[in-house]
Amino acid sequence: MLANRMFEHRPAVGLYAPLRASISEDYGGVSHFTYDRPSSLLQQFNHEEVMAIVRLLDDRMSKLTDYVTGRD
């Protein structure tokens, strides 16, 4: 698990893992996918191996967003 790999290097990462995401629908019937971007939360740890995983997570969340919103 990616969170465990980061936790091994910086245990405080546990404050931000797992990532939070929300899917909602507004009154107009438009669906919204919102999430905390991993790099915005985890860049504070400034550790090479943690940041490599963070970049991977950013990419995966971006792809998930494209899939959920039909932009893939």
Q: What is the per-residue pLDDT for 28?
A: 94
Phi, psi for residue 25 in degrees, rounded to 5: -125, 130
Q: Using one digit for the tens of pLDDT, what is the confidence trace for 3-55?
A: 999 999 999 999 998 899 999 999 998 888 999 999 999 999 989 999 999 99
Write the CA distances from 20 to 14, 27, 29, 35, integer angstroms: 13, 23, 23, 6
Q: Using one digit for the tens of pLDDT, what is the confidence trace for 52-71?
A: 999 999 999 999 999 988 77
Cβ–Cβ < 8 Å for 65, 58: no
Distance (Å, rounded) from C-alpha 70 to C-alpha 49? 32
pTM of this prediction?
0.83
Which residues form the domain of 38?
2-69
Q: How many domains does the chain have?
A: 1
Q: What is the per-residue pLDDT for 31?
A: 85
